[in-house]
Structure 1
Amino acid sequence: MAEQTRNLAIIPARGGSKRIPRKNIKLFLEKPIIAYSIDVAAKSGLFDTIMVSTDDNEIAGIAKNYGASVPFLRSAETSNDQATTIAVLKEVIMLYAKHDTTFDNICCIYPCAPFITRKALEETFSLLKQGQADTIFPVVRYGHPIQRALKKQGNYVSMIDEQNMTVRTQDLEARYHDAGQFYWLTSDALHMKGSLITDKSIGFEIDENETQDIDNDTDWRLAEMKYTLLHTNIKN
C-alpha cells in the first residue's frame, strides 16, 4: 500500500505589522482576519497539520482558539521586516524535523487572505499531485494590458514601450500578477530551489473580484464590502 501523503499548512503571522497595526488579528467583519485562513484550511480537509508561525503570544493564542497549532514561536531572525517567506517556511520545516516530523507538501497561506476558497485550495493541490510543478499559486490577470504602461517625467507622460502605441489592446498578450493568497509547494522544491516561483511554477487564474490587496484602512473597508457582496447567499 502506498504511503499517505502528508500536507502541512503554514500561516505566517508575525506581530510587527507597520501599515496596519496588529493587522493579522484585526477584526475583519466579525472575527480576526487570520481566522478566515485557518477556517478555509480546516474545511478543505487537505492538511495533516495547520500551524501558525508567529513571534507574538497574542496571535498565538487567537490562532489556537480558532483551531490552529502553534508548536513553537518564530525566531528573531525570521521576525524582522527583512525576513522572507521562504526563510519562515524553512525554519518551520527545520523545527518540525528536529522532532522527527516531516511533510511531503507545504501550503503557505497568508493570514490576511479572506477571499481564499476551499475550491481553490483543492484544485491547486490536485494540480500539484500531478507532479508537473514545484509550486502552484493563484494569479490575477491585469485589467489593462501592462504593455501600454506609461511613465511620468515631471508633468509629462510617455509610453514605456512605444512600439505598443498602435497595437490594439485585444492583440496584446495577457499578463498576470500574484494574488498574494497562498502557495502550494513540494518539500523537495523548498529544499532544492528555495523559491516560491521557480522554472516549474503554475499560475492558477482567479477572478479579480476574488482577491483584494489590504495595505491600508481604505483597502480594509473595500475588502469587507467586497467579501460581504461575494458571500451574500453564496457558500464556498
Structure 2
Amino acid sequence: MKQIDCVVIPARGNSKRIVRKNMQPFCGIPMLERSIKLAHRLSDHVIVSSDELSMLEFAASLGAYPLVRDKALADDMTPTLPVVTHALLPFIHTDSFDESLLDFLHVNIQKTYTQDNQIQQEDFIESIKNMMQWQEDKPILHLTPHSKVLCLYATAMFATEQIILESCTLLDTNSNAAYVVAMLEASKVFRSFCLNGSGYLNFLFQDFINTRSQDLPQAFIDAGQFYLGKAESFLMQIPLLGEKSMGIKMAYAHDIDTMLDLAIAESLFKHINKDIL
C-alpha cells in the first residue's frame, strides 16, 4: 500500500520568466512528466491543478486527474496553500471533518471571488466541460483529517521517492507536526549584507562579520520542492513555513526561474545521477 493518500501538483500555465515552464524539457523529459511519474510511485491519487487546457490534457494522458484551477487562483501572486486547498475540496469526506472547519472553508471560498472573476471562472469551466468529462470522472478518493497529502511542485526535479518516504516517517512520528518541508542548508545567510543609500555594505548580522563560514550557525531555506502534511493542515490554512512545520534536509536542489537556472539545474542533476543516466 502506498504511503501517501493524495499528491497535488500545482502547474499554472501562465509563467512569465520561462514560457510554459512546467512543460520545459529537463534532461529530455518535460518537468511536469517527471513530477507526475514520481507522484505515481508514491500515491494512487495524483491531481494536477492547472488553468491551461493543454497542460491538463497532458496530465490526463499520464494518468493524473486534471483539475481545472480557478482563475482567481491562477495569477503569479497566488500562494501555494489556497491552490492545494482548492484541489482537495472535491475529495473531502465531510462526515469526518469538524463542522467549524467546513464553515471556515465555505466563508473563505466565497471571499476568493469577485463578481467579475466568478463570470470568467464559470465561462472557463463550461468550455472545459463541453470538451471533456473530467469533472464527472472524478477518482474515488475520500480524504479524512489525517490523510497524508503531498504538495509536489511541477519543477521539483531534485525531490526523490526516498526523501519523501523519510518525510512520511517524520510526520508519522511527530503527532504535533502539521507539515514536513523540504529544506536546504543556507548558513552563509549570516554573512549577508545589503547596501546603504550610498552604495556601501551594511551587514545584516554584525556579530558574524569575522566568523569563518564553517563556524556559522546552521540556517535553512525552503528548497522549493515539496510540502507533506495532513489534509486538515492544508484545509485549516496552517502556514506551510510556520512553527508547526518540521524540516527535512535535502543535499541538493536548485530553483528554476530562468533558462540559465534550468541549464544549471540540468547540469547538477546529471552530475548527481551520473551512474543511472
- 2:206 alignment partner in structure 1: 162
TM-score by length of 2: 0.75
Contact 1:135 1:198 in 2 (8 A): no
Whole-Å Cα distance in 2 between the matches of residues 198 and 157 of structure 1?
31
Q: CA deviation at 1:30?
A: 1.5
Of stretches 166-175 and 15-24 in structure 1, the one that deviates more from structure 2 is: 166-175
Q: CA deviation at 1:40?
A: 1.3
- 2:76 alignment partner in structure 1: 81
- 2:122 alignment partner in structure 1: none
Contact 1:78 1:87 in 2 (8 A): yes
- 2:274 is the counterpart of 1:232: yes
Contact 1:63 1:69 in 2 (8 A): yes
- 2:65 is the counterpart of 1:65: no
**Do the aligned partners of residues 170 and 223 (structure 1) sit closer, same or farther apart at CA in structure 2, a change above 3 Å counting?**
closer
2:48 partner SS: strand
The structure having more radius of gyration, on CA atoms, is 2
Correspondence for 1:102 among 143, 146, 149: 143
- 2:191 is the counterpart of 1:148: yes
Whole-Å Cα distance in 2 between the matches of residues 6 and 215 of structure 1?
28
Structural mapping, 1:1-16, within 5 Å: 7-16=5-14
Whole-Å Cα distance in 1 between the matches of residues 216 and 204 of structure 2?
15
- 1:179 alignment partner in structure 2: 223
- 2:127 is the counterpart of 1:127: no
- 1:195 alignment partner in structure 2: 239
Structure with more helix by fraction: 2
Whole-Å Cα distance in 2 between the matches of residues 167 and 222 of structure 1?
30
**Do the aligned partners of residues 173 and 9 (structure 1) sit closer, same or farther apart at CA in structure 2, a change above 3 Å counting?**
same
Contact 1:134 1:198 in 2 (8 A): no
Q: CA deviation at 1:11?
A: 0.1
Whole-Å Cα distance in 1 between the matches of residues 207 and 79 of structure 2?
37
Q: CA deviation at 1:57?
A: 1.0
Q: CA deviation at 1:108?
A: 0.3
Which residues of structure 2 form unaligned runs of 5+?
Answer: 95-137
- 2:105 alignment partner in structure 1: none
Q: Deviating runs (4+, > 4 A) in structure 1?
A: none
Percent sequence identity is: 27
- 2:162 is the counterpart of 1:115: no
- 1:42 alignment partner in structure 2: 40
1:229 partner SS: helix
Contact 2:82 2:237 in 1 (8 A): no
Whole-Å Cα distance in 1 between the matches of residues 199 and 248 of structure 2?
39
What amino acid sits opposite 2:193 in the alignment? Answer: L
Of stretches 95-104 and 173-182 in structure 1, the one that deviates more from structure 2 is: 95-104
2:180 partner SS: strand
TM-score by length of 1: 0.87
Which residues of structure 1 form unaligned runs of 5+?
Answer: none
Contact 1:37 1:109 in 2 (8 A): yes
**Do the aligned partners of residues 165 and 21 (structure 1) sit closer, same or farther apart at CA in structure 2, a change above 3 Å counting?**
same
Give per-residue Cα distances to partners, 1:59-96, cap 9 Å, x unaligned: 011112223121x3111111122222111111111122
RMSD: 2.1
**Do the aligned partners of residues 89 and 228 (structure 1) sit closer, same or farther apart at CA in structure 2, a change above 3 Å counting?**
same
Whole-Å Cα distance in 2 between the matches of residues 5 and 224 of structure 1?
29
